[in-house]
Each structure stands twice: as C-alpha cells, then as structure tokens.
Amino acid sequence: MRVLHPEISQEERERLFRVGIDLVNRGQFFAAHEAWEEIWRSTTPEPRGLFQGLIQVAAAL
C-alpha cells in the first residue's frame, strides 16, 4: 500500500523536478529517482503516470 505524502507546493514540485533532471544529467540516476518520487507521492492521479515513468526509467539506468 502506497503512503501518500502531504501535498507539496508547486514551487517545491518544480524544484524537485529540476533537481531530478540535474541528477540524471550527472549520471546519478537513483538520486533522480528519489527526487521525483517525492513529487509522485504527493501528486494527484492525473500527472502521476508521467512521474511514475520517469522514476522507472531512472531506476532502470
């Protein structure tokens, strides 16, 4: 069962997204996975699939 995290602000979501991109660009894929997972855990169903895909790709690399 997935534990929902409290809603995070749009600014924090954008910051974590950029952090994840930066980490991927530096080859730190698992760290990117962790950053994006924070967004995923507090996101409503609509964009959740996008973040789930990013997380899975980062974890696979």
Q: What is the CA radius of gyration of the chain?
A: 11
Q: Is the pTM of this model over 0.75?
A: no
pLDDT tens across 9-29, in order? 889 989 999 999 999 999 999
Pair 48, 39: CB distance under 8 Å: no
Neighbouring residues of 8: CB distance < 8 A, sequence distance ≥ 6: 16, 38, 39, 42
Q: Both tokens of residue 15?
A: 């910051």
Q: Mean pLDDT over residues 27-39, rounded? A: 91
Q: What is the pLDDT of residue 5?
A: 59
Pair 11, 41: CB distance under 8 Å: no
Q: What is the pLDDT of residue 3?
A: 53
Q: Mean pLDDT over residues 1-6, rounded? A: 54
